């Protein structure tokens, strides 16, 4: 079968990777590759999760400011 990758080929590739990078470095490489792929997919889909977090934080901050202003105004009217 031309172009087919089976178990023996995958084991050979994995063995070469272990020899080149060492057993401790492979998880770090895999993690970095996974994060890169995830950020690439997010960029393609146009999602901006960080912007949403910033907007939500600003909304919460505005609510807290409004509540503290209302409490201060109530304190002034009762005093």
Instruction: Give the contacts of 49 (CB within 8 A, at least 6 positions apart).
Output: 42
**SS3 for 24?**
coil
- Averaged over 69-75, what is the pLDDT? 62
Which CATH number is correct for 1-46, 1.10.150, 3.30.1460, 1.20.5, 3.20.20?
A: 1.20.5
pLDDT at 78: 62
Per-residue model confidence (pLDDT) at position 43: 85
Least confident residue range of 30-34, 41-45, 58-62, 72-76: 72-76
Q: Which two tokens stand for residue 47?
A: 């999602």
Report helix, strand or coil for 47. coil
> What pLDDT, on the 0 to 100 scale, is given for residue 73?
63
CA 51 to CA 40: how far, in whole Å? 17
Please say if the pLDDT value at position 1 is more than 60: no
Domain ranges of the chain: 1-46, 48-79
Cβ neighbour number for residue 25 with a 10 Å cutoff: 12
- pLDDT digit string (tens) for 10-57? 999 989 989 998 988 888 988 999 999 998 988 888 766 555 666 777
């Amino acid at each position: 079968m031309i172009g087919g990758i089976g178990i023996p080929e995958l084991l050979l590739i994995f063995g070469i990777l272990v020899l080149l990078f060492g057993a401790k470095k492979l998880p770090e490489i895999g993690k970095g590759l996974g994060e890169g792929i995830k950020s690439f997919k997010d960029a393609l889909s146009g999602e901006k999760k960080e912007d949403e977090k910033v907007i939500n934080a600003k909304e919460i901050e505005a609510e807290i400011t409004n509540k503290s202003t209302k409490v201060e105004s109530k304190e002034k009217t009762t005093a």
